[in-house]
Amino acid sequence: MESTRRFGKYRVEREVLDEQRLEEVTQRKTHSDTHPSLTERLKDSLRCTVPKLKRSVMSSLPVLYWLPKYSVWDYGMPDLISGISVGIMHLPQGMAYALLASLPPVFGLYSSLYPALIYFFFGTSRHISIGTFTVLSIMVGSVTERLAPDVAFLKNNGTNFTAEVDITARDSYRVQVAAATTVLGGLIQVVLGLVKFGFVGTYLSEPLVRAYTTAAAGHAVVAQLKNILGISPTRFSGPLSLVYTLKDVCSLLPQTHLPTLVVSAVSMVFLIAAKELNSFLSSKLPVPIPVELITIVAATLISNYAYLNSNYTVSVVGEIPSGLSPPSVPDVSIFGEVIGDAFALAIVGYAISISLGKTFALKHGYKVDSNQELVALGLSNAVGGFFQCYSVCCSMSRSLIQETTGGKTQMAGVASAVIVLVTILKLGALFQELPKAVLAVIVFVNLKGMFKQYSDIVTLWRRSKFDLVVWLVTWVSTLLLNLDLGLAASISFALLTVIFRTQLPTYSVLGNVPGTELYVDIETHREVREIPGVTIFRSSATVYYANAELYLEALKEKSGLDISKMIIYKRRQEAKQKRRERRAERRAKRQAKREVKSQRAAKQLIDGNDKEDQGWTERENGTVFVIPTSPRATDGHCRWEYLKGGDPDCTSLGWMSELQDGDTTTLGSSSEDTLSRDLERVSLGSLGKWTWDIHSIILDLSTANFIDTVAIKTMKNIFQDFSEIDVDIYMAGCQASVVEQLELGDFFSESITKRRLFASVHDAVLYCLNHRGAASFPRYEPSEWVFFVSTHFLRVSSATFLKWETIVD
């Protein structure tokens, strides 16, 4: 339809597009056109063509895509330098983080070798460094110590009859537990990647991940206190294990081993000073100084020549086997006990890897496939588990080194793996005298970046209180409930905050920006004007079962129409009118009899009755109505005196003036005419209780991306309820998917057609102004005054000899 409307100082001339007209103009495709059937999709997925096969192979093995294009001249030297730098970092970090996992240090080196080689073939990120990571090491350590505690491997000492831990048997079983957990976690990642479940990482928001890693750093510090102080606290597992462990450490402080503490203090001072110097000279150095490698080499030499282990009983790494261990099948019987931990490891490892991978991809202009990354990380863990590796992901510190030293492709990961391989084969035995305290200090110092994340509290306080609450809840739950339960509680709470925010969105009434087709909130913008007679209502969130009732309540509040009370009042009045009509029929019959009696009485009076001054009385249902001798009171209103009952000696006098009541009939009118006229015009306005100046309400659904059956039912009720008070409801800005869901939910009917849906709010406004105008408001005056006496309607017939005159101000 063509619309010509003056909108402020602008004249609008264009066609108003409702949903039905829009479908005709744009020729919208049907649901079957846009959504192929299950059979068609199955046939398409099973159809094999050469291009499709090539794409499938390339996506599954990304190395086949980029390796043939690899330029040795352009990328060879940068990848080599980057790989050597990262490989040097792998050595100390691999051995140190193995202590966090409660495993012998050599298994940290294994975890830095095999997964990196697997990722080379299947990974899509060019800059992340796969290997050991602090958080995952702590999580694996909680599993190994829970299933293989020290108390389960005690053996009697034949000399003094004291029990001591069988370290060999304990470590062997812990390696089996770690390998089984890693394989199961890797299989979970592979399955999730194959079913395109890569989006699962998006449920771990940045505040959640940062708070989780910050709390994990606290676990790491407490776990390394025994190596730094040289004490042997009891290791607890489960909720509040951190508190119990820390309490036990504090109780053992008087037993601190001073030589170990001195080694820890010297190593920490040297490492911190070297790292600060490294940061200061980073802009002037082509590659960073390998301070961690220098630290462990120096500590090994000092320990070896000073005989720290034999002379001062400083705990050292011990025997490191040379060569690679053969692959072995993990103990499947352990899977049932570690499935929850394996799932947590799979999700956390993937979330950290994909977030860092996407950061580098965005910086360097390439794409990272989230599903393929999940498969690549899963294969790295699953295959690595057969070689006694434990769960791995990318490390932030090593990835930054790989990127800043010029790494270009995954070839840098191969170069770093070669460095680790050489160390395992030839150099491993040289680190047997390395003090464990030095490795613990390396872990402690490397946590500095995570400790800096406490500044997020101040930042989030200024930016988002919701994110701050998520951060704090994640931090507290991870510290108190341990890493696995803490992660589950954190994700659950984060999802609850999303639900809570959709349940309590911002509701607003929109006004027009003069001279435009834009509509904004009238409460937050001064230079906007409301459309006369039209209320435009918008919610900042989609409408669904959790907030549908709140949406309706907000609509009542913003429009100023308490529709529920208005409809209840109207229905009560209609019920009263029906009762009134039934009583009127009965009274009509009695009225005819009274008129006959009145005629007879008048005839008797004509024949000589001398009681002219006495009022006419009539008894009905035990009530006598008496017309007073003075027809008007001093206030100008007529009054009736009535006698309750028929005995003049025991009467009670009362006065009645005008009354306003909904259950009465106008005095002086015939019952039939009055009732029929009242029934014809029963409305809220005629009942005299409400007045309003709205004839149309437009629901802006542009923010809705879906609508469920509960919301559809709520929308139907809104249309039906507001129509009862002569207010039209329209919907605007619905997305195509929402319109399809409305169709599938049987929303449209003869009374609610697609003519009620408009492409935009402005189209709906133009239609309302053309259809109802700007001044067609339902304004009503209160109904006339009525009189009511003793549950009976008082009527005076024109056939009587009395003349009654009523004055109503």
| pLDDT tens track for 288-302 | 788 888 999 999 999
Going by pLDDT thresholds of 50, 70 and 90, the confidence category of residue 335 is very high
Least confidently predicted of 39-53, 170-184, 344-358:
39-53
What percent of the chain shows pLDDT beyond 90? Answer: 43
Does the pLDDT at position 339 exceed 80?
A: yes
Q: Is the pLDDT of residue 680 over 80?
A: no
Q: What is the DSSP string of 433-497?
A: T-BHHHHHHHHHHHTHHHHGGGGHHHHHHHH-HHHHHHHHHHHHHHHHHHHHHHHHHHHHHHHHH
Element (H, E) at 307: none
Is a pLDDT exceeding 90 seen at residue 249?
Answer: yes
pLDDT at position 40 is 72
Structure tokens at 657: 């003036």
DSSP 347-387: HHHHHHHHHHHHHHHHHHT----HHHHHHHHHHHHHHHHHT
User: Pick from 119, 87, 98: which is nearest to 186 by CA?
Assistant: 119
Tell me which of 699 and 774 has the higher pLDDT: 699
Output the CA angle 381-385-386, nearest 5 degrees: 130
Alpha carbon distance 676, 655 (integer Å): 30
- Burial class of 335 by CB neighbour count within 10 A (0 to 12, 13 to 18, 19+): middle
Per-residue model confidence (pLDDT) at position 471: 96
What is the C-alpha to C-alpha distance for residues 480 and 242, in angstroms, rounded to an integer? 7
pLDDT of 248 > 80? The answer is: yes
Which residues, other chains included, contact 549 with Cβ-Cβ below 8 Å and sequence gap of 6+? Answer: 714
What per-residue confidence (pLDDT) applies to 14?
Answer: 62
Give residue 575's pLDDT: 85
pLDDT in tens, 365-423: 899 999 999 999 999 999 999 999 999 999 888 998 898 888 999 999 999 999 999 99
Q: 293 and 415 in contact (C-beta within 8 Å)? A: no
Give 740-788 pLDDT, tens digit per residue.
899 999 998 888 988 899 989 999 999 988 887 654 434 333 333 333 3
The pLDDT tens digits for 306-329 are 999 999 999 998 888 888 888 999
- What mean pLDDT is reported for the chain? 80
Amino acid of residue 334: I
No. of helices (H) and no. of strands (E), the chain:
28, 16
For the chain, what percent of residues have pLDDT higher than 70? Answer: 79
DSSP at 500: H
d(C-alpha 425, C-alpha 113), whole Å: 12
pLDDT of residue 175: 95
Q: Which two tokens stand for residue 122?
A: 């299947």
What's residue 62's pLDDT?
A: 93
Encode pLDDT of 431-489 as tens digits.
889 999 999 999 899 888 888 999 999 999 999 999 999 999 999 999 998 888 898 89
Non-local CB neighbours of 704 within 8 Å, separated by 6+ positions: 539, 542, 543, 734, 735, 738
Position 803 scores a pLDDT of: 34
Max mean pLDDT range (187-196, 629-638, 746-755): 187-196
The pLDDT confidence band at residue 806, using thresholds 50, 70 and 90, is very low
Residues of the chain with CATH 3.30.750.24: 504-564+692-772
Looking up tokens 């409702």 gives 18
Tokens of 315: 């705990």
Token digits of residue 140: 């694996």
- What is the reported pLDDT for 454? 94
Q: How many CA atoms lie within 13 A of 774 on its CB side?
A: 8
Q: Are strands 696-700 and 728-732 parallel, antiparallel or unpaired?
A: parallel
Question: Is 250 strand, coil or helix?
Answer: helix
Lowest mean pLDDT among 44-48, 114-118, 492-496, 797-801: 797-801
Is 615 a residue whose pLDDT tops 60?
no
Query: What is the rounded average pLDDT of the residues 51-79?
Result: 88
Assign residue 259 a region: left if phi > 0, alpha if psi is -120 to 50, beta otherwise? alpha
Contacts of 199 (CB under 8 A, 6+ apart): 370
Tell me the per-residue pLDDT of 566-579, one tens digit each, with 9 for 90 and over: 778 777 878 888 88
Distance CA 426, CA 702 (A): 66
- Kindly state the average pLDDT of the residues 255-260: 94
Residue pair 230/439 in contact (Cβ under 8 Å)? The answer is: no
pLDDT for position 187? 96
Residue 437: which residues within 8 A CB-CB, separation 6 or more? 227, 228, 230, 260, 263, 264, 267, 314, 315
Q: Round to whole Å and give the CA distance between 217 and 209.
A: 12
- The pair of structure tokens assigned to 16 is 């108003």
CA dihedral 738, 740, 745, 748 (to 10 degrees): 100
Q: Which CATH class is domain 504-564+692-772?
A: alpha beta
The helix (run of H) or strand (run of E) holding residue 58 is: helix 50-60
With cut-offs at 50, 70 and 90, classify the pLDDT of residue 35: low
- The HSE-up count of residue 81 (CA atoms within 13 Å, CB side) is 14
Comparing 141 with 619, which gets the higher pLDDT? Answer: 141
**Paired tokens of 239:** 């909720």
Query: What's the pLDDT score for residue 660?
Result: 37
pLDDT at 691: 56
Q: At a CB cut-off of 8 Å and minimum separation 6, what does 184 contact?
A: 335, 338, 339, 342
- DSSP percent split of the chain into helix, strand, coil, nearest 5: 60, 10, 35
